[in-house]
């Protein structure tokens, strides 16, 4: 059987109805009154989702394993048991007011792809693992993408253990409880060799829906720079202090933000610039604002744009500060990640051969793929979600689009893992 035949057979065996049923079963775990999902990392609901996934995997005889931060792996063996696996998946935790598809789609599409390979009678040379990375969302224990970051040795597990959630529960204890709830699993080391990693995910943006494409072939993940701007003025009486003598921190901040919007203007509409938090002190209607702190979230797929415009942020803030003092602090800087051509092409070829409409696009949001890309050739497959909405109970996706994503995944996996001749 050629790779192309094997890929087509595997894709044809993807069962749309089964995949949808599993999404709805997972959506019951942590279901909120408004029809969303709250399944926070290392919670009782996270544990229940893990147990359910393991039940489905056991029914097919797949081999479960876990690592020390509870990243969960389910393996369909290949002909060569010692070969590095091809890995597919995402995360099962959600935001506190999250939806039914963010993260879980990648895990369930991975499982569906394995079952499709079984049902099509297609074996692979390499093992194929489905992964559920721990704590991608970071809503309970910050930062997010913790499981993949620790796996990729960007962060040390020891530095995460003392983190506490809002109720004062330490990550150490939540993690121990999670690991104890699924006993007897084989243990994997952090950073074990991975031949390739593919993460299916809902797009979390509007482009696929707007253009009528079912598949986004993701070219990379845009970079981000975050800043905090502190503007210091002088308080005073709103009724008596003459305007000309004021050091009004809000007035200065408004001018700065307008100047920054000018700096961040982008004809191609690729750049993302957000001032999402403004804190005013003393925040009284009758007092001249003494100080303002505002945030900047600036993202772009190209490092040069991040470098050049990012370098001008402080200068623009100073130019519009008037009589106020300003301090600009960069709090986060993550360069863009470009996925290797080999993986991007494999995903595109799979969509093309299956006759599924696709487009290339970068990812606006962060994903576990960010960190795994440092370890292994990585790619992502996007499927449309309604109006691009995510991190919301209104998050929605169509069964046929989810199935298309699983089909492209199955075909890509067999391409990357090699069919057994
Ligand atoms: Zn996600």
pLDDT of residue 1: 82
CA 238 – ligand 1 centroid, Å:
46
> Residue 412: CB partners within 8 Å, gap ≥ 6?
7, 198, 346, 347, 350, 379, 381
CA 13 – ligand 1 centroid, Å:
26
CA distances 363 to 17, 24, 25, 87, 335, Å, are: 28, 26, 28, 19, 13
Residues of the chain with pLDDT under 50: 421
pLDDT of residue 420: 65
pLDDT of residue 183: 96
- CA nearest neighbour of 400 among 235, 237, 168, 208: 208
Classify residue 243 by burial, with Cβ atoms within 10 Å: 0-12, 13-18, 19+. exposed
CA 94 – ligand 1 centroid, Å:
8
CA 197 – ligand 1 centroid, Å:
15
CA 27 – ligand 1 centroid, Å:
15
Strand partners, 220: 338
Distance CA 377, CA 198 (A): 9
pLDDT of residue 3: 87
CA 257 – ligand 1 centroid, Å:
30
Radius of gyration of the chain (CA): 24
CA 321 – ligand 1 centroid, Å:
38
| Site of tokens 């995910």 | 201
CA distances 345 to 56, 214, 402, Å, are: 31, 17, 20
Assigned token pair, 221: 């993940």
Helix (H, G, I), strand (E, B) or coil at 410: helix
CA 199 – ligand 1 centroid, Å:
10
Dihedral of alpha carbons 147, 153, 157, 162, sign: negative
CA 119 – ligand 1 centroid, Å:
28
CB 359 within 8 A of CB 189: no
CA 396 – ligand 1 centroid, Å:
14
CB 320 within 8 A of CB 249: no
CA 107 – ligand 1 centroid, Å:
11
CA 139 – ligand 1 centroid, Å:
12
Residue 366 sits at the vertex; the CA angle it makes with 362 and 369, to the nearest 5 degrees, is 80
Residue positions counted in the chain: 421
- CA nearest neighbour of 198 among 35, 378, 401: 378
CA 233 – ligand 1 centroid, Å:
41
- CA nearest neighbour of 263 among 327, 204, 313: 313
CA 136 – ligand 1 centroid, Å:
7
Whether the bond between 143 and the residue before it is cis, its omega within 30 degrees of 0, is yes
CA distances 166 to 126, 131, 251, Å, are: 43, 27, 35
CA 200 – ligand 1 centroid, Å:
10
CB 50 within 8 A of CB 178: yes
CA distances 420 to 3, 345, 414, 416, Å, are: 9, 22, 9, 12
Q: Taking the mean position of all CA atoms in its chain, how far away is CA 7?
A: 27
User: What pTM value is reported for the model?
Assistant: 0.90
CA 377 – ligand 1 centroid, Å:
19
CA 314 – ligand 1 centroid, Å:
32
Distance CA 133, CA 379 (A): 16
CA 353 – ligand 1 centroid, Å:
27
């Amino acid at each position: 059987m050629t790779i192309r035949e094997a890929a087509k057979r595997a894709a044809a065996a993807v069962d749309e109805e089964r995949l949808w049923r599993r999404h709805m079963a997972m959506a019951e775990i942590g279901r909120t009154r408004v029809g969303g999902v709250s399944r926070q990392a290392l919670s009782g609901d996270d544990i229940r989702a893990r147990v359910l996934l393991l039940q489905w995997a056991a029914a097919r005889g797949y081999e479960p394993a876990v690592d020390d931060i509870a990243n969960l792996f389910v393996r369909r063996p290949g002909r060569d048991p010692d070969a590095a696996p091809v890995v597919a998946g995402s995360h099962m935790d959600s935001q506190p007011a999250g939806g039914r598809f963010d993260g879980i789609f990648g895990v369930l599409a991975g499982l569906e792809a394995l079952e499709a390979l079984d049902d099509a009678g297609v074996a692979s040379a390499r093992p194929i693992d489905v992964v559920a990375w721990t704590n991608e969302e970071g809503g309970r224990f910050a930062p997010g993408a913790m499981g993949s970051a620790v796996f990729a040795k960007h962060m040390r597990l020891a530095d995460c253990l003392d983190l506490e959630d809002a109720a004062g529960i330490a990550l150490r204890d939540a993690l121990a409880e999670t690991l104890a709830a699924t006993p007897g699993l084989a243990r994997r080391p952090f950073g074990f060799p991975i031949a390739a990693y593919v993460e299916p995910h809902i797009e979390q943006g509007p482009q696929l829906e707007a253009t009528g494409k079912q598949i986004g072939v993701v070219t990379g993940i845009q970079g981000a720079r975050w800043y905090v701007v502190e503007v210091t003025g002088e308080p005073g009486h709103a009724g008596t202090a003459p305007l000309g003598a004021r050091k009004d921190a809000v007035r200065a901040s408004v001018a700065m933000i307008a100047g920054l919007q000018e700096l961040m203007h982008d004809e191609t509409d690729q750049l993302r610039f957000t001032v999402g938090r403004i804190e005013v002190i003393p925040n009284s209607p009758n007092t001249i604002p003494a100080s303002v702190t505002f945030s900047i979230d600036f993202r772009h797929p190209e490092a040069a744009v991040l470098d050049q415009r990012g370098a001008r942020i402080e200068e623009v803030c100073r130019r519009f500060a008037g009589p106020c003092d300003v301090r600009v602090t960069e709090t986060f800087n993550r360069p863009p990640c470009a996925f290797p051509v080999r993986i991007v092409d494999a995903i595109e070829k799979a969509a093309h051969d299956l006759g599924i409409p696709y487009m290339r696009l970068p990812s606006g949001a962060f994903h576990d793929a960010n960190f795994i890309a440092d370890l292994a050739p990585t790619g992502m497959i996007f499927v449309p979600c309604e109006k691009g909405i995510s991190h919301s109970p209104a998050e929605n996706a169509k069964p046929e689009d989810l199935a298309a994503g699983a089909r492209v995944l199955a075909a890509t996996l067999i391409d990357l893992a090699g069919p057994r001749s």
